[in-house]
Chain A
Amino acid sequence: MPILINLDLMLVRRKMSLTELAGRVGVTIANLSVLKTGKARAVRFSTLEAICRELDCQPGDILEYAPEESQSGD
């Protein structure tokens, strides 16, 4: 998947634990862990909004597009 999740990086920057963020956002730790490890297939806008609100960041700070080697045309 060429979409990378930088949630752990943002958590370190904000000095916040996953458990605390899960409590503030209103999702389970298991679900947030799925997102953090990049196993998630989709993110709801409402979840993304809540994460950005609590971490005081933009969606682009959490999500990153990194094209795979085989997809590059050159």
Chain B
Amino acid sequence: MTEAKEVQKPLYARIAWVATRWFWYGSIALLVGYVVAGVMAAFSPSESKHIMVGFMAKPILLALISYQLRGLVRSAYGGRPFTFDNVRRLRLIGLCTLIYGPLNVLAKWIQLYSSHKGDFLDLSIRLGVDSADTIFLGLLILVLAQVFDMGVRLQTDNDLTV
């Protein structure tokens, strides 16, 4: 017979648990909003149809990140964070974060270009400067995923030590 030990979770863990859940709901609501706006733009006679395609990437990436984050926090909350699933989740979050900034800049640039206000020099500067923080953050998460990968191996070794 197995005894389920009820351990009181620390406050920050409970906050993270609730926050990621609401982040997930928020990103889904945002995604639905963008889809509705996209459908409305597609049926409108304006010339801004292609702008929506660029902007759609943002809520999709946010939804993807929040979904993975939810799984990550759920497993950490469950007491076993060192799994290969979490390494995969972290890698996906890292990649999404990495491309989030450049995609955002690209979407803005498409908007400017369509209104004949953007040029390629402006785009290259914006890609480098405006998206530097998310690129840095994405790389940091990817490194963290690699550290997690090593943690999983250590956890497996520990589990198989009698």
Contacts and interface: CB of A to CB of B under 8 A. Distances in A.
Interface of A: 27, 31-32, 34-35, 39-44, 47
Contacts of A35: 162
Given A35-B162, A40-B160, 15 more contacts: A27-B162, A31-B162, A34-B160, A40-B161, A40-B162, A41-B156, A41-B157, A41-B160, A41-B161, A42-B160, A42-B161, A42-B162, A43-B161, A43-B162, A47-B162
Interface residues of B, number: 5
B156, B157, B161 — which one has the most chain A CB atoms within 10 A of its CB? B161
Interface string B147-162: 0000000001100111
A44 to B, nearest CB: 7
Contacts of A40: 160-162
Contacts of B157: 41-42
A35 to B, nearest CB: 4
A41 B162 CA distance: 8
B69 to A, nearest CB: 32
Interface string B120-162: 0000000000000000000000000000000000001100111
Contacts of B160: 34, 39-42
Nearest to B161: A42
B65 to A, nearest CB: 35
Nearest to A27: B162
A32 B161 CA distance: 10
A35 B161 CA distance: 9
Nearest to A33: B162
Contacts of A39: 160
B8 to A, nearest CB: 25
Residue of B156, B160, B161, B162 with most chain A CB atoms under a 10 A cut-off: B162
